[in-house]
Amino acid sequence: MARTFGEESTTDEVLDGMDLTGKRVLVTGVSAGLGVETARALVAHGADVVGTARDVEKARRATSGIEPGSAGGSLALLALDLASLASVRTAAEALVADGRSFDLVIANAGVMACPQGTTADGFETQFGTNHLGHFLLVNRIAGLIAASGRLVNLSSAGHRFSDVDLEDPGFARGGYEPFIAYGRSKTANILFAVEFDRRHRARGVRATAVHPGGIRTELSRHLDEQAVQALIESIDEAQVAAGRPAFRYKSVPQGAATSVWAGIVADADAVGGQYCEDCHVAEIEEGEGIRGGVRSYALDPERAKALWALSEEMVGERF
C-alpha cells in the first residue's frame, strides 16, 4: 500500500526506507533554508547531489554538516548566480561539459518580496531570478535529465497574488508592488513546469511545481515583522471565512518534504504538469485570500506556451 503524507511530514519521513544510491540530483540554492535541508536528506539516502549557490563559501559553511548515510551519497558545489544570465550560462556549460546525467532537478533558489530592482541583465529582480534564471539553466541542461527523470520547480501559494503579465513583465508601466512581483514570478514557475512537462513527457521526463508552505528562512529577509504579521492576519481572515484552519509555520524539514516527495516518491503521471502542496496534488481553488490550492491561470497550457515564447525572447535563446 502506498504511504500517505501530509503537511506535517518531513523529508526523512517521506524518504524513509529509500535507497537513492546511484541517483544524481541538482538542487539550486543550497546556501540556506530549504536548499540545505533538501540536499541533506538526499545525500543521507545515498544520492549524489550537485548544489548551486551564488556564494559558494556561504554554501560550504551551510552544508558543512551534511554527511552521507550508510548508502553513501555526496555533495558537490557549483557557483551559480540566477540573477546573471552570464553566470547561468557558465554553470550550464560546466554541467554539460561534465556530461553526467541527472535523475532529478530541483529549482529551489529564489527571492521574495524584495524592493524594486533589476538583475544584471535588466530584468525585474524577482521575475528574472525566480523564473528566467531557472528557465535558462534548466533548458540548457535539459538533455542531461535522464529518461524517467523529473524537474521540480519551487513555487508558492504566493502565486495567488498575481498571474504573469505577458505584456509588461518588468513593471515598465509602473505600479511595482513587491508581492505582486513575487506572485508573477511564482505563477511563472508553475507555468514553466506545465510547458516543460508537455515538451518532455514523451521521453519520460516529467515536471511539476510545488508549494513548500510557510517557513521562516532567509527568503523573508526583505520583510519586517510588522509586514509579516499583517500578511498572516489577512491569511487567517480568509482561512477562517473559508472554514479552514489558521496559518502556522512549518519547520524546514516539513517545508522541504514536498520537494522530495514530488521529485522521488510520487507517481510521475500524477504530478506531471501539476502543482503540489503538503505532499499531494493541489485542487484548483479560485477564492481570494486563501492559501490552499492552485489558481487555474497557473495551469493554463496556453498561458504556459505564451510565457515560454516570451522567456525565450527575453533570454535570447530558443529551446
CATH number at residue 114: 3.40.50.720
pLDDT at position 177, please? 95
Residue 32 pLDDT greater than 60, yes or no: yes
Between 301-315 and 178-200, two packed helices, what is the crossing angle to 10 degrees?
A: 100
Count the residues in the chain. 319
Confidence tier at 1 by pLDDT (50, 70, 90) = very low
Number of domains in the chain: 1
Average pLDDT over residues 185-204: 98
Is 233 a member of any domain? no
Q: Report if residue 84 sits inside a domain.
A: yes
CA triplet 87, 303, 184: central angle to 5 degrees?
Answer: 55
Catalytic one of 155, 156, 162, 259: 155
Domain extent at residue 74: 11-223+251-307
Q: What tens digit of pLDDT does each residue of 230-245 get?
A: 666 676 676 667 677 7
Q: Is the predicted pLDDT of residue 220 greater than 60, yes or no?
A: no
Residue 200 lies in a domain: yes
**Nine-digit cell string for 64:** 558543512
Q: Determine, yes or no, domain membership for 65.
A: yes
Q: Based on the residue annotation, tell me whether 186 is a catalytic residue of this protein.
A: yes
Beta strands in 80-133 (DSSP E): 102-107
Q: Is residue 99 part of a domain?
A: yes
Q: Give the pairing of strands 24-28 and 145-154.
A: unpaired
Q: Is residue 176 part of a domain?
A: yes
Average predicted confidence (pLDDT) for the chain: 93
Q: Is 155 a catalytic residue?
A: yes
Q: For residue 291, is it within any domain?
A: yes
Which of 31, 182, 275, 311 is flagged as catalytic?
A: 182
Helix (H, G, I), strand (E, B) or coil at 77: strand
- Which of 186, 199, 190 lies closest to 145 in space, CA to CA? 199
Greater confidence, 248 or 162? Answer: 162
- Give the per-residue pLDDT at 306: 98
For residues 144-169, give the mean pLDDT. 97
Residue 114 lies in a domain: yes
Render pLDDT for 258-296 as a digit per residue (tens, 0 to 9): 999 999 999 999 999 999 999 999 999 998 766 789 999
User: Is residue 305 among the annotated active site residues?
Assistant: no
Measured CA distances, 256 to 34, 49, 119 (Å): 6, 15, 27
**Catalytic position from the list 87, 156, 162, 186:** 186
